[in-house]
Structure 1
Amino acid sequence: MLAFPPARNSMDHDMIAVRPAPLVKTTVSASAAKYLRSEIIGGGIRAGDSLPEARIGELLGVSRVPVREALVILEREGLVTFDRRGTARVRTFTLEDVRELGVMRLVLEPMAARLAANRGDATALGEIARNLTNLKRARTLSDITGLDFEYHRLIMAAAGNSRLSASWENLASQLRVVMRLFHQAWERKTLAVRINTVKAHAALFDAISRGDGAGAESIAREQAEGWLVELGESGAFDSPVEARE
């Protein structure tokens, strides 16, 4: 006796048709998170500022639910904190926070530099070279900060290790905030910041492009250690920033 599969009725088809609907909600949350992330990283919303869901929802034209979900996303990224009452605020980075980020850079970036040098991917090296060219032409601290961050991301990608890159990306939003605050501390020395950044990046790129894995790893480690020292000397993280309600 032949067994036939049960016939699919119109209800099954209708159910399949509506399944993508929840994605709209997710997209709204992701869009809200993208907006808030950009504002926090760029300094439009400052450390310690409160993030009222109703006000943000009104600004973005959405309900409080996707805003709440967006804030949870940013909490996971380390940009937002919630107090006991559930009030969200932009995270204030302390010197200890920065030191912890520096330790993670020491763990991840030297290994990425070695792998990138050993791998020698021509396309990846070309992207890093273009980044250096753009950095040499940069005139504002905002441009320098953006290119500085992009440079490190490109090296992580050039390593060709998805898990290593994923570990670094988990810290990316926090690193961008810290880099901005660090560069802003030297705002009157924009030219010096650019010259020093170009010099450091060029030295590391030279080792990577020559395929010197050990040398690239050593330079990346030295630079990450130096970054920690400079962050402490900058005074950018000595005291909390006054919050705005």
Structure 2
Amino acid sequence: MPADAAAPLTRTSLAEQVRERLREAIVCGELPQGGLITEPVVAARYAVSRAPVREALLALERDGLVTFDARGRARVLELTPRVFEELVAVRVSLEGLAARLAAAGDTADLAAALEENIRRQGDAGTYRDLTRLDVAFHELVVRAARNDRLLAAWLTVRCVLDFWLTAAFRDAEMSVAPRTLAVDSHRRLLRAVASGDPDRAERAAVAHITRWRSYLPAARPAPAAHEAAR
């Protein structure tokens, strides 16, 4: 392969690395909600040019974690009650259907994978570990539906789900209540899907998703520009 044909891959790789680092900084709260993300500061921080930073920010916009204001400035998504309700509405539709479809198929392997995931949730040492396992649990169910279009639609909200759950667990400071809620509710969903009853599985998925309203993270004031650019 000619050397110039491989050159763009290097920049794409850099952009993906910056994207992943920024995504984790956003999800973990290192970059405050509503705060500005300035390209020069990010470029200096990660020792890259501004081009991959711009690509990373555009990718994060597609992930739903970054918005651009009227002046073209990137800001971290604010987890407002409206964002939460929109997320719930989409998840109820997609994950309710996914649970229904998964329950209609062969659930033995899925049940074993979900059981192992739940076991690991109980052992999770940090809120970030718990969040990753929580999101992975739901992805297992969605993939078990064996519907590519459904999976593609769900993946568009995966990052925002990760962001919201991380904020919820962090705000609760890993107290017993949300951890117990997650483990117990996931176990009920597991039993419903494994039962092979599509109606029961769908009801359990919807109940699990809507039960999180009691842990809605409070909306936060937008920080000054320099706070998000540190």
- Do structure 1's residue 88 and structure 2's residue 74 form an aligned pair? yes
User: In the TM superposition, what is the alpha-carbon distance from 1:121 to its structure 2 partner?
Assistant: 4.4
1:27 to 9, 13, 22: 13
1:160 aligns with 2:136: no
State the shift of 1:156 in Å: 1.0
Unaligned runs of 5+ in 1: 1-13
Q: In structure 1, how many angstroms separate the alpha carbons of the residues matched to 2:23 and 2:73? A: 17
TM-score by length of 2: 0.90
Distance 1:57 1:238 in 2: 29
Which one is further off, 194-203 or 81-90? 81-90
SS of 1:20's partner is helix
The answer to whether the aligner puts 1:129 opposite 2:115 as a matched pair is yes
1:223 deviates by 2.0
Counterpart secondary structure, 2:75: strand
Structure 1 counterpart of 2:193: 208
**Secondary structure class of the residue paired with 2:121:** helix
Q: 1:240: which partner in 2?
A: 221
> Quick one: percent identity of the two aligned structures?
35
**Cα offsets for 1:217-240 (capped at 9, x unmatched):** 11111222222x324xx4x23443
Q: Deviations over 1:167-187 (max 9, x none)?
A: 111011111111112223322
Identify the match of residue 173 of structure 1 among 148, 159, 166. Answer: 159
Structure 1 position 85, deviation (Å): 2.4
Distance 1:191 1:211, change over 3 A: same
Distance 1:203 1:49 in 2: 38
Shift of residue 153, structure 1, vs aligned partner:
1.4
Structure 1 residues 173 and 243: CA distance shift in structure 2, 3 A: farther
1:138, CA displacement in angstroms? 2.5
Tell me the SS of whatever aligns to 1:89: strand
- Asked whether the 8 Å contact 1:94–1:240 carries over to 2, the reply is no
Structure possessing the higher radius of gyration over alpha carbons: 1
Q: What corresponds to 1:63 in structure 2?
A: 49
CA 1:34 to 1:238, structure 2 compared with 1: closer, same or farther past 3 Å? closer
Q: Is residue 95 of structure 2 the alignment partner of residue 109 of structure 1?
A: yes
Structure showing greater relative contact order (alpha-carbon pairs closer than 8 Å, 6 or more residues apart): 2
Q: Distance in 1 between matches of 2:218 and 2:87?
A: 13
Query: Is the contact between residue 47 and residue 243 of structure 1 (CA under 8 Å) also seen in structure 2?
Result: no
TM-score scaled by structure 1? Answer: 0.85
Cα root mean square deviation, aligned: 1.9
Structure-2 separation of matches of 1:112 and 1:222: 14
Classify the secondary structure of the residue corresponding to 1:47: coil
Number of residue equivalences: 226
Name 1:230's counterpart in structure 2: 214
Counterpart contact for 2:16–2:56, Cα < 8 Å: yes
